[in-house]
Chains A and B, each alone.
Chain A
Amino acid sequence: MEALLAVAIGILYAASLYLMLRRSVVKLILGLSLFGHASNLLILTSGKLLKGRPPLIGDDAHALFGEPAVDYADPIPPALILTAIVIGFAILAFSAVLVKRTVQEVGTDDMDQMNNTDLEAAS
């Protein structure tokens, strides 16, 4: 399962980098959002992947780790991912509006056509 997820994460990262390297602004934003998803999946994988375990430990266990060994699903990675997804969604919404405004203002979504704000000739 870990191997499968690792490959999936790799594909997601690769796809997002490819999208980011395109000249279109819309693809750039899509790439960034994919990059975030890949990171979320990475967090999920880096916690233990267990099937059908509760996130709580029984009364007989004295500690989360150590003796007696407890097999439980770690609830922290999903909690982190939930937070990251919510934040990522908000930022994605903002970037969508930003792209829309930029395309309206500039008239193209091609990065090469845009004025280069770091050059002196611009503005």
Chain B
Amino acid sequence: MNALLMAPVLIPIFTAMLCIALWKWRYAQRCVSIVGAFALLGASASLLISIDTMPELNGVFATQLGGWEAPFGITFVADRFAAIMVTLAGLVGACTVVYSVGAIDKKRESAGYHALVQALLASVCGAFLTGDIFNMYVWFEIMLMSSFVLLTLGGERGQLEGALKYVALNLLSSSIFLAGIGLLYGLTGTLNMADLSVKLAALNETDTKVVSALSLLFMVGFGIKAATFPFFFWLPASYHTPPSVISALFGGLLTKVGVYALVRTFTLLFVGNYAFTHTLFLWIAGFTMLAGVLGAIAQKDVRRILSFTIVSHIGNMIMGLGIFGVAMHRASITTGVESEVLRGAGLFALAGTVFYALHHIVVKTNVFFITGIIEKMRGTTQLAKLGGLYHQRPFLSSLFFISAMSLAGIPVLSGFWSKLTLVRAGLQAETYAIVGVSLGVSVLTMYILTRIWAQAFWAPIPEDDPEQGGVARDNENREPNPRGFAWMMSPVVVLTGLTLALGLGASHTFALTMRAAEQLAGNESYISTVLGAPEPDPRRLVEFHDPIESELHAQIDDHLESGGH
């Protein structure tokens, strides 16, 4: 079990090292990278299955690196949330590596592309699994380093300018995060997150206020990484510059690491002042959603539009975290049934965040992949120059349609259920304003995606005009070579199938995210597993049953039955 927990980090590190050792042999690197990515997928999936199903684990497993006991050594912990995220990282990794066989050019491949991708996967998995706040900083830095190089690989002018913004803001966020860690250590004398959680809860009132202020440093630091409202500018400026496969990897995984860090720290560490911190999250979420969607409307290039929609979707995830905190705060000042209902709403909101992250990683990676194929076919992603794709490639177009509709939140697809969960939680927690914003943003997202569909897929191929120099005509018949095309298509088919499966099997997906949310909301099992303390009061571990939750379960089942026939 120790080995299984470490495998999602060790396998990609090993693969990256092997790729460096095979520096001169491009094809060998490619093979090693594919094998490594699938091994990672297998290991992380079996980690998720064993964490979720083995009853003796209670849903959490921890290992101490180098045999140094917590809280002194570095701990690796996998709870359900971390295991879900690691599995998705494995999935995106495997898809990316397969896709890049057809998509990435020779120059980039011999400049260490595969080693960098594997290093990125290792650091993402490390950030998900670590139970030590400083170790998380180190993984973040490794992630930044490999993403910097991936972003600038090829050295085109646009890439360099985009990377400059990316590097500057991410460096700033790391330093802020580091300052936060330093102050937190000064206050508590520990870096282990489980131990921090215990120590922060035991602080006196004045120090708790200091912690609330301190938590803002983490909010800003992780907020920059996750591209939340006032700090999101680097994302749309840089994500469209590298080749599509790298955009897919970044858009699918990297921002989610920021979201993961926010959820982890603001459910485990900074829970002393829900009313302040999590209300702030609601504001941030609202503005993030609006800013992302309005930015997307103004754009005329598919990849730029998709980059901006990442921002608005991040807002949705942050919204779940905010609703959770607000509901928990209101539950603590009310009593009886009302308090229970609010607590249920909080769980629901967290489950919505996890569900949304899960859905978004799969779908966003997929739409970037499809955009990459379109770019290979037409040589451009400008909406005005595209058109007629549906006639040329009906199958690819229908795959895009499914993913885009899932992104917009059309029923039966995965995006719908995650949004439904969040909206439902918001209504229960009586945070109507944010729910209104979220619904309005969903409509606008729908508009943006139908516009891409109408202009790029349905509209006729644009006529030649002198300004475009007949580029569109020339590109009409440009077909990628069939073998490369097959490599690029297979991950797209798999990911689209997964979107459908997540949506059609929503009751299972939802149950899994609900179990993850229960662990996040009640940290007892996490803390006791890491610190090896005796099980706390069993009454607090009793699973929470709330009438509205079972009602939604029933509704989802009903909907599936009626929709399935």
Q: Do chains A and B touch in the complex (CB under 8 A)?
A: yes
Shortest C-beta distance, B284 to chain A (Å), equals 20
Q: Which residues of B contact A123 (CB under 8 A)?
A: 158, 241
Shortest C-beta distance, A41 to chain B (Å), equals 9
CA of A101 to CA of B153, assembled, Å: 12
Say which residue of B168, B182, B186, B299 sits within 8 Å of A32 (CB atoms): B168
B401 contacts the other chain (CB 8 A): no
Given contacts A39-B182, A98-B163, A102-B161, are A32 and B175 in contact (CB under 8 A)? Answer: yes
Given contacts A39-B179, A118-B236, are A102 and B160 in contact (CB under 8 A)? Answer: yes
Say which residue of B172, B185, B191 sits within 8 Å of A46 (CB atoms): B185
Say which residue of B144, B155, B236 sits within 8 Å of A91 (CB atoms): B144
Q: Which residues of B contact A105 (CB under 8 A)?
A: 155, 157, 160
B185/A84 in contact, CB under 8 A: no
Given contacts A46-B185, A118-B237, A122-B158, are A35 and B134 in contact (CB under 8 A)? Answer: no
CA of A122 to CA of B144, assembled, Å: 26
A83/B158 in contact, CB under 8 A: no
Interface string of B110-133 (1 = CB under 8 A from A): 000000000000000000000000
Please classify the interface of chain B as helix (H, G, I), strand (E, B), loop, or mixed, using the class held by over half of its residues.
helix
Please classify the interface of chain A as helix (H, G, I), strand (E, B), loop, or mixed, using the class held by over half of its residues.
helix
Q: Which residues of B contact A29 (CB under 8 A)?
A: 168
Q: Which residues of A contact B164 (CB under 8 A)?
A: 25, 98-99, 102, 114
B399 contacts the other chain (CB 8 A): no
B340 contacts the other chain (CB 8 A): no
CA of A112 to CA of B393, assembled, Å: 42
A98/B148 in contact, CB under 8 A: yes
B556 contacts the other chain (CB 8 A): no
B134/A39 in contact, CB under 8 A: no
Q: Which A residue's beta carbon lies closest to that of B233?
A: A118
B391 contacts the other chain (CB 8 A): no
B181/A95 in contact, CB under 8 A: no
Q: Which residues of B contact A8 (CB under 8 A)?
A: none
Q: Which A residue's beta carbon lies closest to that of B382?
A: A120
Selected A-B contacts with CB under 8 Å, 25 pairs: A29-B168, A32-B175, A43-B179, A43-B182, A45-B186, A46-B185, A46-B186, A76-B185, A76-B191, A77-B185, A80-B181, A80-B185, A83-B138, A84-B137, A84-B178, A91-B141, A91-B167, A94-B145, A95-B171, A101-B152, A102-B161, A106-B161, A115-B157, A120-B299, A120-B300
